[in-house]
């Protein structure tokens, strides 16, 4: 059985349901695929059927080979039985095979025996095998004998093959519904499945946005735990919801390749500074929020609003993957596995902190890494699988409404692996970035530290002529946990989910992810460096400034969870505090002063207008040269008294005592 829980899979679906496209996506990552075409060529004049066949051929990559079995229905079982363990076969579809089976040219024949032979070949197959078949059992019983014979034979074939396959999925309107194996009941400590490990799927994950099955054929996503709180905390007041994680790049749906130069979204460039400027107007006592203003800036940019809200749904991803060789010197055998089991059971420091912070916890099994001083930590195939696995973990979180991810790790040898990545990507000296080894008895083990330094030194010497591309660094030095963490950062960036980094694995993944997508580091926040030299240097390279200096020694992820309530409180203050009364009054006065301006030069300037006859407009224009502000109603000295009665003068400028000229005096 393969690493994701199945070797043989039957994909059922109705006409135009998307079953063939789904089956093709499951084997898209295989280096070579043998496509077994079962449908007969059909009538040459049937252009519609020819168009369907051409569309199928056009979707196949050039690396695939095609083998046709339409000439003999028994040929399909022979092809499956002869397939080697390292081969991948895609059979499309069993409906065409049944058509050939019922062809009069192959009758009389023992059809049930032929179906049984096919099922036996599927059950005994050691190759990677995906079979596609129409589901006709949901339609009406055909009215013709030939139609009934076809549905009966196809129904019998589907039942026999489904029983022989490891897994069964039904495609309805393009959406996968996994029927076998069904989701198991939730155990106390379920087995976890990760890249490079075989285990039964522990959680149904994925969805329409990703195109991935509930327990994908790559590897099953681990169970998401919600540790019980003791005592329960009161529920927070509801806040307006934002569009936290709109789908931007879906790995499975688009066939996206994780490679350097990926174009992923950036946080909002304007929302962050606007949020910080808004803080200056709030009714905050004292000098303000200090360095925690960066939290408001970060949250506003990643949420795309100048009024960010506290992160309500938080998920901790605890990566468990050991490193062999000198990297794990000083680590007690089996201790990291015990910590992982403890976290799954809701016990231990990390689980308790997650409970108090109202955060869910997901223990992720990463592939074990080989001794990097002797050989590559992972193969190229394992790197690709682990990157996609981490991406899918982020997609699963986004689909579940998670607003913030916390990266944590508990594997043996993670610090030397991170130091090797830091040395390869940033030119660091291994002894300068490797922290001292502290045993379970709280003792300093300098001998183990020297072994770790030697392992990193030898690994760098072994790879001195190797490429320093991101995937090569992960394969040669990084190992399983750092590779999965890199995939998580890329997937979170694609789905616009911010990430709290806490420890060497997270910052090492940040260094590698910047070479794949430079936008990823802008979605990361570092609460504390923890006194670890590797984290300090990596933070400086990534441009991340730690918020606090707690130096907790409880393992990766603990400091982030310990500071999470404080970060939420800061965002709650920024979202709910009113504007300072002095600023609010000034704004109100400014608005009140500005209101009369459009009305004209004076508040009573409209009073003379109703009594001013339009016909006397020329008389109003004559006195204008005299100036705007006469203080008497007598006529000018040069004007003869007989020309104009004195009573007519008030219609001139003296009739507007509230004019601008009068106010200027």
Please report which helix (H) or strand (E) contains residue 500, including its range.
Answer: strand 499-500
Cβ atoms 406, 315 nearer than 8 A: yes
Q: Which of 556, 607, 616, 636 is catalytic?
A: 556
Q: Which strands form 88-92's sheet, in the order they lie side by side?
A: 65-68, 34-37, 88-92, 128-134, 8-13, 167-172, 175-180
Cβ atoms 503, 402 nearer than 8 A: no
d(CA 442, CA 368): 26
Of residues 469, 37, 496, the one with CA closest to residue 258: 469
Residue 475 DSSP label: I
By DSSP bridging, strand 359-365 and strand 224-225 are antiparallel
Q: Is 457 helix (H, G, I), strand (E, B) or coil?
A: helix
Of residues 319, 322, 279, 651, the one with CA closest to residue 501: 319
Query: Residue 435: phi, psi to the nearest 5?
Result: -75, 165
Q: Is 513 helix (H, G, I), strand (E, B) or coil?
A: helix
Cβ atoms 386, 193 nearer than 8 A: no
Q: Is 90 helix (H, G, I), strand (E, B) or coil?
A: strand
Q: How far apart are the two ends of the chain, measured CA to CA in Å? A: 100
**Neighbour tally for 371: CB within 10 Å:** 18
Active site residue 117: no
Beta strands of 300-436 (E only): which ranges? 314-320, 359-365, 404-409
Question: Which residues fall within 8 angstroms of residue 121, CB to CB, at 6 or more apart?
Answer: 76, 77, 78, 80, 81
Cβ atoms 560, 359 nearer than 8 A: no
> What DSSP assignment string belongs to 221-273?
PPPEE-PPPSSPPPPPPP-----TT-----HHHHT----TT-------TTHHH
> Which residues on neighbouring strands pair with residue 36, listed in sequence order?
67, 91
Number of H helices and E strands in the chain, helices first, is 24, 13
Question: Which residues fall within 8 angstroms of residue 237, CB to CB, at 6 or more apart?
Answer: none
Cβ atoms 253, 210 nearer than 8 A: yes
At what angle are helices 558-576 and 271-279 packed, to 10 degrees?
A: 70
Residue 399 DSSP label: H
Cβ atoms 131, 122 nearer than 8 A: yes
d(CA 398, CA 498): 11
Q: Is 382 helix (H, G, I), strand (E, B) or coil?
A: helix
Tokens matching residue 386: 């682990």
Q: Which residues are catalytic?
A: 556
């Amino acid at each position: 059985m393969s690493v994701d829980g199945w070797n043989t899979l039957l994909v059922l679906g109705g006409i135009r349901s998307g079953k063939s496209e789904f089956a093709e996506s499951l084997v898209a990552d295989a280096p070579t695929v043998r496509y077994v075409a079962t449908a007969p060529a059909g009538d040459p004049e049937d252009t519609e059927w020819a168009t369907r066949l051409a569309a199928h051929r056009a979707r196949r990559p050039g690396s695939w080979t095609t083998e046709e079995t339409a000439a003999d229905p028994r040929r399909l079982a022979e092809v499956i039985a002869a397939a080697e363990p390292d081969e991948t076969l895609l059979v499309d579809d069993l409906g065409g095979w049944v058509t050939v089976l019922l062809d009069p040219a192959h009758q009389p024949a023992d059809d049930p025996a032929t179906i049984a032979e096919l099922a036996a070949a599927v059950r005994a197959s050691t190759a990677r095998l995906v079979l596609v078949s129409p589901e006709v059992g949901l339609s009406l019983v055909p009215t013709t004998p030939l139609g009934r014979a076809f549905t009966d034979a196809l129904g019998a074939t589907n039942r026999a093959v489904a029983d022989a396959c490891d897994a069964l999925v039904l495609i309805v309107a393009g959406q996968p519904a996994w029927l076998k194996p069904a989701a198991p009941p939730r155990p106390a400590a379920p087995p976890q499945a990760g890249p490079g490990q075989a285990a039964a799927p522990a959680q149904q994950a994925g969805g329409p946005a990703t195109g991935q099955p509930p327990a994908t054929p790559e590897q099953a996503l681990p169970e998401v735990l919600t540790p019980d709180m003791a005592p329960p905390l009161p529920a927070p007041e509801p806040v307006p919801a934002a569009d936290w994680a709109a789908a931007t790049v879906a790995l499975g749906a688009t066939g996206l390749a994780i490679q350097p130069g990926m174009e992923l979204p950036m946080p909002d460039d304007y929302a962050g500074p606007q949020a910080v400027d808004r803080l200056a107007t709030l009714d905050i006592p004292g000098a303000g929020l200090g360095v925690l203003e960066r939290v408001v800036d970060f949250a506003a940019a990643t949420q795309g609003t100048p009024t960010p809200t506290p992160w309500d749904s938080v998920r901790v991803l605890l990566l468990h993957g050991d490193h062999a060789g000198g990297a794990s010197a000083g680590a007690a055998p089996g201790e990291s596995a015990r910590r992982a089991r403890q976290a799954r059971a809701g016990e231990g420091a990390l689980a308790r902190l997650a409970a108090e912070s109202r955060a869910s916890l997901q223990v992720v099994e990463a592939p074990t890494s080989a001794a990097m001083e002797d050989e590559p930590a992972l193969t190229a195939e394992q790197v690709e699988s682990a990157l996609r696995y981490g991406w899918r973990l982020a997609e699963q979180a986004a689909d579940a409404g998670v607003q913030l991810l916390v990266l944590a790790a508990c594997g043996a040898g993670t610090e030397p692996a991170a130091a090797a990545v830091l040395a390869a990507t940033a030119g660091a000296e291994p002894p300068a970035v490797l922290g001292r080894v502290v045993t379970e008895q709280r003792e300093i083990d300098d001998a183990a530290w020297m072994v770790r330094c030697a392992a990193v030194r030898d690994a760098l010497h072994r790879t001195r002529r190797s490429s320093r591309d991101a995937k090569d660094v992960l394969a040669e030095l990084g190992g399983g946990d750092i590779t999965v963490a890199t995939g998580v950062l890329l997937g979170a960036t694609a789905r616009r989910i911010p990430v709290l980094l806490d420890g060497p694995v997270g910052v090492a993944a940040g260094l590698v992810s910047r070479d794949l997508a430079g936008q990823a580091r802008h979605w990361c926040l570092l609460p504390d460096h923890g006194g670890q030299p590797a984290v300090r240097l990596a933070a400086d390279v990534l441009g991340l400034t730690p918020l606090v200096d707690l130096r907790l020694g409880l393992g990766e992820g603990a400091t982030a969870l310990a500071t999470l309530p404080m970060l939420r409180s800061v965002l709650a203050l920024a979202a709910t505090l009113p504007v300072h009364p002095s600023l609010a009054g000034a704004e109100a006065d400014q608005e009140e002063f500005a209101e009369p301006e459009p009305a004209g030069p004076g508040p009573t300037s409209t009073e003379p207008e109703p009594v001013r006859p339009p016909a006397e407009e020329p008389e109003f224009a004559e006195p204008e040269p005299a100036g705007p502000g006469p203080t008497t109603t007598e006529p000018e000295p040069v004007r003869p008294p007989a020309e104009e009665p004195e009573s007519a003068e008030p219609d001139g400028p003296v009739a507007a005592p509230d004019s601008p000229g009068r106010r200027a005096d």
